[in-house]
Chain A
Amino acid sequence: AQKVTQAQTEISVVEKEDVTLDCVYETRDTTYYLFWYKQPPSGELVFLIRRNSFDEQNEISGRYSWNFQKSTSSFNFTITASQVVDSAVYFCALITNTGNQFYFGTGTSLTVIP
């Protein structure tokens, strides 16, 4: 069975602080894909990144970076120099190569205080 755990329910940071959102996943498949989505107050989920299980290279995109570690089954997301516009709920999701459905975590609500 597949499972995604986001243990942090809510995080508050002051603007310009760095923040890391944790994601731990479970799967027995050897080929799988991990995603991060952002859900702002408007409600529409916005794709941030996709990573396959064979690519453990960390990725940086502007102020966003992702740390994928298969040894700990984690795919953590760091926002550097947070901004008020980063306030949203962030979801980590897993899909396996043999399945057709996403498994989402319960999300982490991030509030960036000006």
Chain B
Amino acid sequence: DTGVSQNPRHKITKRGQNVTFRCDPISEHNRLYWYRQTLGQGPEFLTYFQNEAQLEKSRLLSDRFSAERPKGSFSTLEIQRTEQGDSAMYLCASSLGGGPTGEQYFGPGTRLTVT
């Protein structure tokens, strides 16, 4: 399978714990995006990388959230001191090209449940 992969697929954690998710984009894609999707809503943009540079962050991304893409390949999203409101599906997408307006390919998501 050469699509976008995300691990883990599901994560249950207790409030206050830290969690880290991983995204492996399609190999030649230079752009990588993170979104959050809650039940009954569309995905909400969190942050975006072009190669290893984080070029944009949403105001939804509080200081408890941090994302990295150290070598311009895979990316990690870490949430520190999780809160129940962080429970959601976290989606990763990647795209190819010089502009942001191309088709984004989405991964299957990581579903986070904070108890």
Q: Are A105 and B108 neighbours in the complex by a CB distance under 8 Å?
A: no
A106 within 8 A of B: yes
Q: How many residues of B contact A (CB 8 A)?
A: 26
Q: Determine how close the nearest CB of chain A comes to the CB of B107; give it in whole angstroms.
A: 7
Q: With a CB–CB cut-off of 8 A, which chain B residues contact A46?
A: 106
> Cβ of A104 and Cβ of B43 under 8 Å apart?
yes
Question: Residue A93 at the B interface, CB < 8 A?
Answer: yes
With A100-B48, A100-B56 known to touch, is A107 a contact of B41 (CB < 8 Å)? Answer: yes
- In the bound assembly, the distance between CA atoms of A43 and B111 in angstroms comes to 10
Is B103 close to A, CB under 8 A?
A: yes
A50 at the binding interface (Cβ < 8 Å): yes
| Interchain nearest-CB distance for A24 vs B (Å) | 14
B46 to chain A, nearest CB (A): 9
In the bound assembly, the distance between CA atoms of A19 and B101 in angstroms comes to 28
Q: Are B44 and A104 in contact (CB under 8 A)?
A: yes
Asked if A99 CB lies within 8 Å of chain B CBs, one says: yes
CB <8 Å contact, A42 and B101: no
B25 / chain A contacts, CB cutoff of 8 Å: none
Distance (whole angstroms) from the CB of A44 to the closest CB of chain B:
5
Q: Mark A74-114, 1 if CB is under 8 A from B, else 0.
A: 00000000000000000101010101111111110000000
- Identify 14 new A-B residue pairs, CB closer than 8 A, beyond the known A47-B103, A47-B105, A95-B100: A4-B42, A35-B103, A44-B107, A44-B108, A45-B91, A45-B93, A50-B103, A101-B45, A101-B56, A101-B100, A102-B104, A104-B43, A107-B41, A107-B42
Q: Which residues of B contact A (CB under 8 A)?
A: 33, 35, 40-45, 48, 55-56, 58, 89, 91, 93, 99-109
3 closest A-B pairs by CB: A104-B42, A101-B45, A45-B106
